[in-house]
Amino acid sequence: MATVSFHLKEPKVDKPTAIFMWFNPQNGQPRVRLYTGDKIHPSQWAGGDVQRAITKGRTIDPELKRANEALNANNERMSKRLLAYWGECRAQGVLPTAEQLREAIEPEAAPEPAPERPRPLPDLLAYKERHARTRRPNTVKALGTLYNHLDRFATATGRTLEYSDFTAQFWHDLTAYFLDEADLVDNSIAKHLAHFKHFLGDAHQLGRNPLQDYKHWRWARRDPEVLALTRAELAALEEVNVSMLPDAARLENARALFLISCYTGLRFSDVAALRPEHQKGEWLQLTAQKTSEKLTVPLRGNRAVPLLKKLWAGEVRPISNQKLNQYIKDVARLAQLNTPTEQVEYRGSQRTSETLPKHELISSHTGRRTFVTLSLEGGLSWETIMKATGHKDFKSFRRYIQVTPERLLSDFARVWGEQEAVAL
């Protein structure tokens, strides 16, 4: 009766060595050596009568044990396949060649893997990683926030999100979640929708998203009132004395950064990135962090110049946006910027408003808005201001325009006062 035994090619080496089998037909024919295609370290091989990979012992690593068990199972399958083939050949009255025996133990072709089913959430993570190479950190962060919302929505509704789910009804369900569970305002929902639609368009181009219902999804933005300082409020912020306070240093530093934004129209991210090399004589020339637009800000007679000198000297230091928002509110409170100011938010059909002292609403972006508002009030054309602020078109710029009471009075007096004089 034919037999099969397994052996190591080099049992005394200190490295993995090939495993082969001896096939002994036991009919007077010579044995045939057949290699299994596997290797193992001799220390993991039980010799003697056993001739198999070690799978027992208190010190054996669990992962190594699993690998050895798989190797033994593979050897057992090859042994059975070889003996069955030999038996079939004998029954037909033929003796297989050594090459035919080798072919009999060739590994069976692995079944074709089932095609991967595209899944939106893993795809969104991959999309986020791709964009991390080319997009601004805030955009990448927004994609992460969108992923978290979709993941929570799937958990809350018991769904496993598929691309086939993304119908008009899905968008209605998701917006209900945004409003009722996530408590988002309209502008936040519109922002998430923009990122979501861009992702689904990318997935469609890659052949992963068959539906295009998302193209009809809509959510209106409702931009809040632009908050800007009047000239009197800006002067009060400039002049308030904080030197006697225990935290005077951080308040002075925050005020200086905020005022640079008020005097130049730069976003806070650009103020924080300013370096001495950005000052070219009477100009600030830099690339905007958010839009990559080239910015050119005139400095002749600009009240930012002494503050920039302190920034170059290290006397004023950049801080995080969150800290500036906190500290500048403290300075504004000390400056008694207490004008009651209505803050309006929209959530679907719901309009909510809250009236707060102005100092509680001031943030880093108020500086840029103040620059635009007071520049217009002072008579600068919007084309000139847009050149300094880097706005590409009037549509995005116009929401910064806030007609102050002072400008309203002076403009009406100039126009209607002149007409009255002519009529007389």
SS3 string of the chain?
Answer: CCEEEEEECCCCCCCCEEEEEEEECCCCCCCEEEEEEEEECHHHEECCCCCEECCCCCCCCHHHHHHHHHHHHHHHHHHHHHHHHHHHHHHCCCCCCHHHHHHHCCCCCCCCCCCCCCCHHHHHHHHHHHHCCCCCHHHHHHHHHHHHHHHHHHHHHCCCCCHHHCCHHHHHHHHHHHHHCCCCCHHHHHHHHHHHHHHHHHHHHCCCCCCCHHHHCCCCCCCCCCCCCCHHHHHHHHHCCCCCCCCHHHHHHHHHHHHHHHHHCCCHHHHHCCCHHHEECCEEEEECCCCCCEEEEECCCCCCHHHHHHHHHCCCCCCCHHHHHHHHHHHHHHCCCCCEEEEEEEECCEEEEEEEEHHHCCCCHHHHHHHHHHHHHCCCCHHHHHHHHCCCCHHHHHHHCCCCHHHHHHHHHHHHHHHHHHHC
Residue extent(s) of CATH 1.10.443.10 domains in the chain: 231-416
Tokens encoding 208: 């992963």
The CATH number of 231-416 is 1.10.443.10
Residue 105 has pLDDT above 90, yes or no: no
Instruction: Choose among 196, 246, 193: nearest CA to 218.
Output: 193
Buried-exposed string 199-229: b where 16+ CB fall within 10 A, e elsewhere: bbebbbeeebbeeeebeebebeeeeeebbbb
Percent above pLDDT 70 for the chain = 90
**pLDDT score for 134:** 81
Alpha carbons 17 and 14: distance in angstroms, whole number: 9
Q: Are 302 and 263 in contact (CB under 8 A)?
A: yes
Comparing 84-88, 121-125, 141-145, 342-346, the range with the smallest average pLDDT is 342-346
Q: What is the pLDDT of residues 32-61, one digit of tens each?
A: 888 888 899 888 888 777 788 888 877 777
**pLDDT score for 151:** 94
Q: Are 137 and 178 in contact (CB under 8 A)?
A: no
Q: What is the pLDDT of residues 246-255, one digit of tens each?
A: 999 999 999 9
Residue 401 has pLDDT above 70, yes or no: no
**pLDDT score for 424:** 45
Alpha carbons 307 and 257: distance in angstroms, whole number: 8
**Span 314-332, average pLDDT:** 95
Residue extent(s) of CATH 1.10.150 domains in the chain: 120-216
Q: What is the pLDDT of residues 127-138, one digit of tens each?
A: 999 988 888 788
Residue 422 has pLDDT above 50, yes or no: no
**pLDDT score for 389:** 80
Return all residues near 392 (Cβ < 8 A) that are at least 6 apart: 291, 293
**pLDDT score for 406:** 58
What is 120-216's CATH number, 1.10.760, 3.30.450, 1.10.150, 3.30.50? 1.10.150
Model pTM greater than 0.75?
no
Q: What is the pLDDT of residues 185-229, one digit of tens each?
A: 998 999 999 999 999 999 999 998 888 999 999 998 876 677 889
**pLDDT score for 49:** 72
Alpha carbons 402 and 397: distance in angstroms, whole number: 11
